[in-house]
Amino acid sequence: MSETTYELPLNERIRTQLRLDFLFQQVNHFLAEESTWGSRAAIASIIDIINVFTRSDLKTDLIKELERLTTCLAPLVSSQGVDQKALSQLLDNMDRLIDRLHAMPAQIGAQLRELEFLNAIRQRSSIPGGSCNFDLPGYHHWLAQDMTLRRADIQRWLKVLDPLRESSELITRLIRESGRPSQETAEQGFFQQSLDTHLPFQLIQVMLPTESQFFAEISGGKHRFSIRIMEQCLAERPAQTAESVSFKLVRCAI
């Protein structure tokens, strides 16, 4: 049975990581498409990534999070029952990424923000339909080129962001894999639980069957969280179900 996972990041740092992870996955998906619409969507994702840079001290946050994870995992080197080779490779990879992030310019993505081609598209992106052919003839010309050339340009721009992408992917993977699922029940569609503030909880996950008529709304913070199981209705505002619904719960802490 397939499941759909709903997530709630419990702090701003992991919230930014999840958004970056989503955007990099999105740009890679559209990069594989041959159509001009795929190239448009890939460019839109790159612009969203650039906008994330401008709103946070991303480089410092990534370095701090990698250093925190290294501190958490390093003591396991002497533990029995741990794949020491895999752990050693993981720690080496994190050290390598920290060094690469330190070597990046203070203004992350400055090369892309200063690229006139992307900057022109970015300035028009806040206007509905602002990247139409008549608005940006240079963009229209680029989209008319062979897909091989367009893909090469996009890959060259993404290369600048490789340390950020790799760091974000590693951090989100480790956090998502840190929890173990438990079977819970939302009585009359509601579930609430307190969190041990001595543990570094980063993320809450709720899994429901994909074919279910329900979806999960999760809210909360570092002290407690609540889950409302909602009935999907596209014509009206979703409402909390009156049924008792079983679901899988994962509390991710590392």
Tell me what the pLDDT averaged over the chain comes to: 89
Domain annotation covers residue 3: no
Domain annotation covers residue 58: yes
Where does a domain end: 174, 197, 223?
Answer: 174
Cβ count near 176 (within 10 Å)? 18
Average pLDDT, integer, range 205-226:
93
Quick one: 188 and 95 in the same domain?
no
Domain annotation covers residue 2: no
Domain annotation covers residue 5: no
Residue 70 phi, psi (nearest 5): -60, -45
Looking at residue 222, what is its pLDDT?
A: 84
Q: What is the pLDDT of residues 159-190, one digit of tens each?
A: 988 888 899 899 999 999 988 999 999 999 99
Instruction: Give the DSSP H or E segment for 207.
Output: strand 201-209
The count of domains in the chain is 2
Quick one: 119 and 204 in the same domain?
no
Contact 39, 54 (CB under 8 A): no
Quick one: 67 and 109 in the same domain?
yes
Where does a domain end: 119, 149, 174?
Answer: 174
3-state secondary structure of 161: coil
Lowest-pLDDT range of 111-115, 120-124, 207-211, 218-222: 111-115
Domain annotation covers residue 80: yes
- Residues in the chain, total: 254
Q: Is 56 a residue whose pLDDT tops 70? A: no
pLDDT band at 230 (very low <50, low <70, confident <90, very high): very high
Domain annotation covers residue 116: yes
What range does the domain containing 33 cover?
12-174
Quick one: 220 and 194 in the same domain?
yes
Q: What is the pLDDT of residues 62-110, one digit of tens each?
A: 899 999 999 888 888 777 777 888 888 999 999 999 999 988 876 776 7
> Which residue is associated with the tokens 């897909």?
147
Quick one: 111 and 154 in the same domain?
yes
- Output the CA torsion sign for 78, 66, 162, 7: positive
* Calpha distance 13→204 (Å, rounded): 14
